[in-house]
Amino acid sequence: MSDVINWLVNSEPYIEYNSRVDLLGQSKTNNEVIIAKEKLLKDSRIESILQELKKWPGYPLKRHNDASHLIHKLSFLADIGIGKENSVIQQVSQKIFTQQSDDGAFQVIINIPTHFGGSGEDEHLWMLCDAPLTLYSLIKAGWGEDQRVQAALKHIVSLVKENGWPCAASSKLKGKFRGPGRKIDPCPYANLVSLKALSEHPKWKNSKESKIGAETLLNLWDQRKERKAYLFGMGTDFKKLKAPLIWYDILHVTEVLTQFDWLKKDERLLQMIDIIRSKADENGFYTAESVWLAWKEWEFGQKKTPSAWITFLVYRILNRMK
């Protein structure tokens, strides 16, 4: 483990910063942590993302696994610890607040074709496969107690059913849109990102709704050979290590589920953890098994050598299970 830690803290600044905070337990006021944070903000790729985010909400969202979209870039910056103390994140947050729907959810620009129940035009809307991700980014950025964020949390909580979160979308669509699945089924990705948002807020982390969402994801894993809700499978591709955490895969699911202490001994979660653990090389390092081409300039955007960021994500997940 010491060799792994040494590798991580001598890696890129955003990896060093998060490793010091989450694996070594160092305070954010620690001088080494402060220096790492200063260095990560000077990374040209991070500076580039911040410049892009000034154009929020960016181009219309047409598919939710578009790794280039600003919603995923905002989420990544939240993941690595850049919050509202940053002037650009502050500006983006204020723009997001101006686009809160009457429903309570935060909207982005979406273009839904007419044959899927949309207008075929660019418009401010929300769907349960994007609104929770925006909400997650705001909470991580430090807006958790803001009344607008509280309203968005209450809205997401209000949508959960007995078997988890369904496919849901803006009331502007008047019920015309629904994803490729049975109406009675939960949407795996909507469950994942909704639970992700709730996991970051102390009021909702251990709520009944969080427990329903967690049970839904674990049941989907348990029944993975019999069902494929909304076309989300949990087979070979699901099990591949991949970063950043954008879509429905084993790292993303376990990253969210291990936030909940009451799942530490759940056999279904332990099965997923064992699969991840088995992927370590002889040094205890982990390598990406699939990549997002939009992130090919990052060290996790290749499959040839071990990735320090993916290794960090895995060890943070493993540490939570102790």
Q: What pLDDT is stored for residue 229 in this prediction?
A: 87
| C-alpha to C-alpha distance for 56 and 33, rounded to whole angstroms | 29
> Is the pLDDT assigned to residue 180 strictly greater than 80?
no
Q: What pLDDT is stored for residue 28 in this prediction?
A: 96
Q: For residues 113 and 4, which has the higher predicted lDDT (pLDDT)?
A: 4
154-165 average pLDDT score:
97
Q: For residues 319 and 112, which has the higher predicted lDDT (pLDDT)?
A: 319
How deeply is 167 buried, as exposed, middle or buried, from its count of CB atoms within 10 A (0-12, 13-18, 19+)? buried
What six digits make up the tokens of 284? 């205890």
Q: What pLDDT is stored for residue 270 in this prediction?
A: 98
Q: What pLDDT is stored for residue 100 in this prediction?
A: 98
Place of tokens 């098994």: 289
> Is the pLDDT assigned to residue 135 strictly greater than 90?
yes
Number of separate domains in the chain: 1
Q: Which domain holds residue 9?
A: 2-320
* Residue 101, SS3 per DSSP: coil
Q: For residues 172 and 250, which has the higher predicted lDDT (pLDDT)?
A: 250
129-155 average pLDDT score:
98
278-296 average pLDDT score:
98
What would you measure as the largest C-alpha separation in the chain, in angstroms? 56
- Per-residue pLDDT of 100-133, as tens digits, reads 999 999 999 999 888 777 888 899 999 999 999 9
Q: What pLDDT is stored for residue 248 in this prediction?
A: 98
Q: Which residues pair with 169 in a beta bridge?
A: 127
Return the CATH number at 225: 1.50.10
> Is the pLDDT assigned to residue 1 strictly greater than 80?
no
231, 275, 226: which is closest to 253 by C-alpha?
A: 275
- Per-residue pLDDT of 196-222, as tens digits, reads 999 999 999 999 999 999 999 999 999
Measuring CA to CA, how many Å separate 183 from each of 115, 143, 165, 167, 231? 18, 33, 11, 8, 13
Q: What pLDDT is stored for residue 293 in this prediction?
A: 97
60 pLDDT band (50/70/90 cuts)? very high
Q: 10 Å Cβ neighbour count for 319?
A: 13
